[in-house]
C-alpha cells in the first residue's frame, strides 16, 4: 500500500489496496507456564502503554439462576485484597496520571489501565494481586450488591429503551444465555451471595483463563519478563472447561413486541435477525454480513437512509448494524425513527421493502466498493489508537478468534463480492425478524400496561 493511500484511504485507494494490511503490525505472543496468554502490540510513538487483562467469562457463562454475577464480579474486583485495601489500586492509577476502567459482555470481562510505560510493572503487580488475593466477605459483597441493583434500576428499569431491548433479546435468543441481560435479572441479583462470588472467582479468575494484552512503547522481552515476575507466580486454581452452550434459536414466524411509556419522547422501531458471528460463520459469510450492514445502514449514503430519510421522508433516522464478535450466533439489527405522520407499522414495512430489494436485486459494485473502503479505512485509523488495538484483539481472542485471523481480516473483507453480499442477505435475512416498537404517551390506553410487562402485541 502506498503512503498516499494511508494518508487518505477513502480517496486514494480501492479496497483491493487494503488487502495486504496486517492489523496491529508486528504482534508477538507468548504463554506463561501457568497457562496465561500474552499478546504484545508495539507502538513506539509515545512513552505510554495500555495494559489489559481479559477473562474468558461473561454473562453467557453464568450458571442458571445466577444471572448478573459476571458483571457483579467486575464491581467486586475493585474492592480490597489481602495485600491492598479497597481503592488503593485506583488511587495509584490516578496518582500517576493514568486512567482505568473495566467492562463485562456476554462473552468476556476485561480490566485495563493506560499509564506511562515506566509504571507497567506496577500495574501488573496490582492486577496479579487481585487475580489471586481478592477478599470476598459478606461485608464486602452486600453493599456492592445494592450498588448493582441501583445501577439496574437507573439503566434498565427507568429506561424504556433498555427494557424493550431486554425483551427483544429474550425473544431473539430463545433457550440461550444471550437472551439474559448482562446486568442480570433483579430477583437473581438480589440472591447472589458470598458463596456464589467465591465459586465464580475460583473457577474463572485463574491465570489459565486470562489473556494479558499490552499495547504501547514496549518490547516483547520487556513485557514477558514483567509478566513472569508477576502473573507467572500465580497458580492455576481451576480448569474452567469448554464454554459449551445450546445453539441460539428464534421462534419461527412473525414476532412483535410493543412498549409504550410516558417517558418516551421519540418513538422508534428495531428489527433483529439471528445470524452467524465471525466465530460461527462459514467461509466469508461474516465478512459479507459486515459489508451488507454497511450498505444497508452505514451512514448517510446507505440504502435505508437514502430511501427512508432522504427520498420518502418517512424517517428521521435509519440504519443497521451487525454485532459481529460473539462466541455464538449473534444479531443483525435494523433501526429507524419515524417522522411525524408515519406509524411504526408503516416504518417497519418501509425498512422491510428496502431489505427485500437487496435480497431480490443485490447491490451495485459501487456500493460494495464504498462499503469495503469504509470498513477497511476504519481499521487503518484504529491502528493509531493503542487502546483500540488492544481491545480489538481482546474481543477476538475471547470470542473464538486468533491473532492470525484478526491480522488477515482485511484480505478476507477485500475478497467479498456483490454475489456474496446478496447471498448473505438471502440466507440470513429473508425470514421474519423480531420487531420491537417503542411508543410514547400518545399511544392508546392499555398499551402501556402491555409494554411494561414485555408481552407481545
Q: Which residues of 267-289 are buried (b: 16+ CB within 10 A; e: fewer)?
A: bbbbbbbbbbbbbbbeebbbbbb
C-alpha cell at 6: 494511508
- Say how far apart CA 384 and CA 43 lie, in whole Å: 9
DSSP string, 107-150: S-EEEEEEEEGGGHHHHHHHHHHHHH-B---HHHHHHHHHHHHH
- Say how far apart CA 292 and CA 295 lie, in whole Å: 5
- Say how far apart CA 106 and CA 6 lie, in whole Å: 35
Question: Catalytic annotation on 138?
Answer: no
Are the CB atoms for 416 and 292 separated by under 8 Å?
A: no
Q: Which residues face 112 on adjacent strands? A: 52, 101
- Say how far apart CA 215 and CA 44 lie, in whole Å: 9
- Say how far apart CA 117 and CA 406 lie, in whole Å: 26
Residue linked to cell 495494559:
51
Among candidate residues 74, 100, 287, 367, the one labeled active-site is 74
Closest CA to 396 of 387, 385, 409, 383: 409
Cα angle 367, 369, 370 (rounded to 5 degrees) comes to 65
Catalytic residues: 74
Amino acid at each position: 500500500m502506498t503512503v498516499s493511500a494511508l494518508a487518505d484511504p477513502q480517496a486514494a485507494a480501492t479496497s483491493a489496496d487494503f488487502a495486504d494490511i496486517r492489523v496491529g503490525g508486528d504482534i508477538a505472543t507468548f504463554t506463561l507456564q501457568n497457562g496465561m496468554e500474552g499478546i504484545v502490540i508495539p507502538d513506539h510513538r509515545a512513552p505510554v502503554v495500555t495494559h489489559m487483562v481479559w477473562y474468558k467469562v461473561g454473562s453467557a457463562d453464568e450458571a442458571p439462576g445466577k444471572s448478573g454475577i459476571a458483571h457483579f464480579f467486575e464491581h467486586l474486583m475493585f474492592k480490597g485484597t489481602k495485600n491492598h485495601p479497597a481503592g488503593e489500586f485506583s488511587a495509584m492509577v490516578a496518582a500517576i496520571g493514568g486512567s482505568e476502567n473495566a467492562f463485562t459482555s456476554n462473552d468476556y470481562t476485561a480490566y485495563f489501565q493506560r499509564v506511562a510505560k515506566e509504571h507497567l510493572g506496577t500495574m501488573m503487580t496490582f492486577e496479579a494481586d487481585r487475580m489471586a488475593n481478592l477478599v470476598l466477605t459478606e461485608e464486602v459483597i452486600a453493599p456492592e450488591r445494592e450498588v448493582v441493583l441501583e445501577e439496574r434500576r437507573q439503566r434498565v428499569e427507568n429506561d424504556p429503551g433498555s427494557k424493550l431491548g431486554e425483551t427483544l433479546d429474550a425473544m431473539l435468543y430463545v433457550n440461550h444465555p444471550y437472551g439474559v441481560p448482562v446486568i442480570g435479572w433483579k430477583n437473581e441479583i438480589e440472591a447472589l451471595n458470598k458463596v456464589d462470588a467465591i465459586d465464580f472467582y475460583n473457577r474463572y479468575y485463574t491465570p489459565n483463563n486470562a489473556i494479558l494484552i499490552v499495547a504501547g512503547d514496549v518490547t516483547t522481552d520487556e513485557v514477558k519478563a514483567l509478566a513472569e515476575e508477576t502473573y507467572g507466580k500465580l497458580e492455576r486454581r481451576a480448569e474452567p472447561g469448554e464454554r459449551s452452550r445450546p445453539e441460539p434459536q428464534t421462534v419461527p414466524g412473525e414476532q412483535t413486541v410493543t412498549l409504550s411509556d410516558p417517558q418516551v419522547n421519540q418513538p422508534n422501531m428495531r428489527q433483529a435477525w439471528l445470524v452467524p458471528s465471525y466465530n460461527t460463520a462459514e467461509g466469508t459469510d461474516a465478512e459479507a454480513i459486515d459489508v451488507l450492514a454497511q450498505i444497508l445502514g452505514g451512514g448517510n449514503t446507505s440504502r435505508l437512509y437514502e430511501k427512508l430519510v432522504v427520498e420518502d421522508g418517512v424517517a428521521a433516522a435509519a440504519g443497521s448494524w451487525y454485532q459481529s464478535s460473539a462466541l455464538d450466533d449473534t444479531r443483525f439489527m435494523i433501526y429507524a425513527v419515524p417522522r411525524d405522520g408515519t406509524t411504526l407499522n408503516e416504518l417497519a414495512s418501509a425498512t422491510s421493502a428496502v431489505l427485500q430489494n437487496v435480497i431480490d436485486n443485490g447491490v451495485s459494485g459501487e456500493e460494495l466498493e464504498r462499503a469495503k473502503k469504509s470498513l477497511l479505512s476504519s481499521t487503518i485509523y484504529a491502528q493509531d489508537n493503542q487502546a483500540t488495538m488492544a481491545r480489538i484483539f481482546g474481543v477476538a481472542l475471547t470470542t473464538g478468534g486468533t491473532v492470525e485471523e484478526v491480522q488477515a481480516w482485511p484480505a478476507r473483507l477485500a475478497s467479498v463480492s456483490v454475489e456474496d453480499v446478496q447471498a448473505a442477505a438471502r440466507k440470513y435475512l429473508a425470514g421474519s425478524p423480531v420487531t420491537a416498537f417503542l411508543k410514547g404517551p400518545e399511544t392508546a390506553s392499555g398499551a402501556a400496561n402491555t409494554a411494561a410487562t414485555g408481552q407481545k402485541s
